[in-house]
Structure 1
Amino acid sequence: MDKLFGTDGVRGTANKHPMTAEMALRIGAAVGRYFSRDTTSVHRVVIGKDTRLSGYMFENALTAGLTSTGMNVLLLGPVPTPAVGMLTRSMRADLGVMISASHNPAVDNGIKFFGPDGFKLSDQMEDDIEQLIAAGVSPAEAAGIGRAKRVDDGRFRYIERVKTSFPRQMRLDGLKVVVDCANGASYRVAPDALWELGATVIPVGVSPDGKNINKGCGSTSPQMAAETVRAHGADVGICLDGDADRVILLDENGEVGDGDQFMALMAASWAESGQLAQGALVATVMSNLGLEHFLRDKGLRLERTAVGDRYVVERMREGGFNLGGEQSGHIVMTDYATTGDGLMAALQFLAEMVRSGKPASALLRSFEPVPQLLKNVRFAKGQTPLDASGVKAAIAQAEKDLSGAGRLLIRKSGTEPLVRVMAEHENEDVMIRAVDSVVDAVADAVSAT
């Protein structure tokens, strides 16, 4: 059996392997068996989802698999991914499941898991579960089948938890905030939380129909939110993705500030207040060199990890760090949450705006980024373009050209059949030539097989 788990659970196009109802049932039975091996106690699992049409199918299939092994299932309905992490722990569940393909198009879907501590599963646990899926599991006896029920107040519990991360005596009165919920899981909770804290809220992307999640909106397409910010004279824009575990911020001019700029701001602020643990920020290999230079100038360190917010979290837990994230907008603050939380990160930014009295444009320009370029090359299943001799030669030459004032990063996507080619260099022309040479080599290798 092909490997199921990627960098963030199991993901693919709905009704195509591995994202079929049959496979979801098998996955549910396997994780149910894995987390209910102690037969002396009652076991429960919470399941959340975003707004994709296929979410109904996967919710039912997973529930069938889980209850067949004796797990009791609590169905949260549409809630952000971080809500599942939070509620898994607060409801004393053995397992949390989120049905979402995050920022992917509506035709895709995914399944990601949280352990009883609210953190995503380790590679070893995923490998163990894959072995159970391949081997198959025996169902419980008829008397031991689990139950399932709806939990109607999950989103309200999450809103209250998010608000506790915001300074208690602070309000957002006078701030006009555009929030783009990507027609996804946060379409109710994000506007409500901001309104309850006093902001004037202008919501967009809050009309999900099962097929429009992330479509021309959200963190991967912030243009609509930027236009709304400018049209309404808003102070700031908040762009969440389909499951609200990442955020991209817009200033009062509609200009984008990515995750690197946000992390620079928070690292400096937390270091000044004594809140930043270990004097370091954890980010991935994709974060800009400018961020690294900014932190170094302030006497702080940048700890880099592989791409994927769960690898950021793993490093944070290992080293005792409390702030980390990704350039793409996953922001992890383990003082408050167990995973990336776009809404919670946005509230921290708004608190900085209120505390400093500065506009968003000033807070989202902490450093000057080193020129960076990322291009993707799609390949077919079974192809291995990075093994081609021409690709290896192009990579070696590009690394030589960039050495001293830049870097090159080549990797396969963990969620899509893409080779990602990224380079940074102080000389933009050198950077572009390096990326294009590798992209052309990879494309040639793909077309030749």
Structure 2
Amino acid sequence: MARYHQPGVVVTDHRFTVPLDHDAPDGGQLELFGREIAAVGRAEGGDLPWLVYLEGGPGFGARRLTGRQAWLDRALRDYRVLLLDQRGTGASTPRNRQSLAALAGPAAQAGHLALFRADSIVRDCEAVRTRLTGGAPWTVLGQSFGGFCAIHYLSTAPEGLREVLITGGLPSLHHHADDVYRAAYPRIRRKNEAHYDRYPDDVARVRRIAAHLAEHRTVLPGGYVLTPEAFQSLGLMLGTADGSHQLHYLLADAFIRAGDRLELSDAFQESALAALSFAGHPLYALLHEACYGGAGDRPTGWAAERVRAEFPAFDARAALDGDDPVLLTGETIHPWHFESDPALRPLREAAELLAHRADWPALYDPARLAANEVPVAAVVYHDDMYVDTAHSLETARAVRGLRTWVTDEYEHDGLRTGPHVLDRLIGLVRGET
């Protein structure tokens, strides 16, 4: 174990070995990485309860925080924190086009990737918990998809939980992926409208960029093909605290004059690539809709793409033929992502197989949740672009004893803005507020 200091904290890096398939423990193994953080002066004591942080996604490793940034300052008053890279992410046996190429074809890749959902993540957590805590239950803090994992945890292994804190991550228990996206597109449209109200000049900017891309094949550095539809995906930025402002700055300097013609600037292309590429988190694209698999016996079947046809205002090329603003999209994955992005192209057949899988195991146990005895508190962000508020509140009512805080003070990334969100949730889960 590596141990080192950062401002105000002692950091210890841990590595754990877990089965690839917990139902076949004698098969392949994975290595998980977790970063333990404790306050200076308390790192050596054994009296601190553990809090494990589960990042949003799927497909993202735990954020590399420095010192007592964001919510950590509040957490370290009461807990020893484990920032766990979920399997396949960060430093936990990462899964991408390079590592998956070793498997024997798309069917093997799809079968392998099916072991990287919330059910396997929670079983990993239980294996790690018993090694770190000596068997004592711990607190789970789940951000976004991490909250989905936390609800699965409550459904399958509540004995491992001391408390559960969820930020912007109460999943639907019953709705098919189609229902999730039917609820999502109107929210995404509202975020577009709010952005265009804030920055009216961006209506023309977005239209101009989309028109340029429709007329000129544009390949970004590294081979990413920037189509009008891919450009629309920059709308993913609109659901965070400063995302609208960052998008505005990105759009403002899109073009540069090269002799007698205008071109997309190198700076814009590099920034767009950084925002759009899945090279650092391919599991997000591969498993995003699989998060909703198991709600019924239908495949997810590229739900975001199919449901988008019910919302013609999001058709960029049709908007260019008329006078309507070009709307950007949000947290939606489409088949063309696996054509545009070189990090995903080798995996498009595996993605097709995952999209058409109909036998996903259910992730949530409504009866067990209705009998829950673990203290749970969740913040639900009003008009959250990524997780439907109505679906979240429906789930909150289905989990016995869950306390909610519904707020429009923050966007989906409220936890990252400082200690305030976590402090409020700790008060709620302990009955102090």
TM-score norm. by structure 2 comes to 0.28
Higher relative contact order (CA 8 A, sep 6+): 2
TM-score norm. by structure 1 comes to 0.27
Q: If each structure's helix is expressed as a fraction of its own residues, which one has the higher value?
A: 2
Q: If each structure's strand is expressed as a fraction of its own residues, which one has the higher value?
A: 1
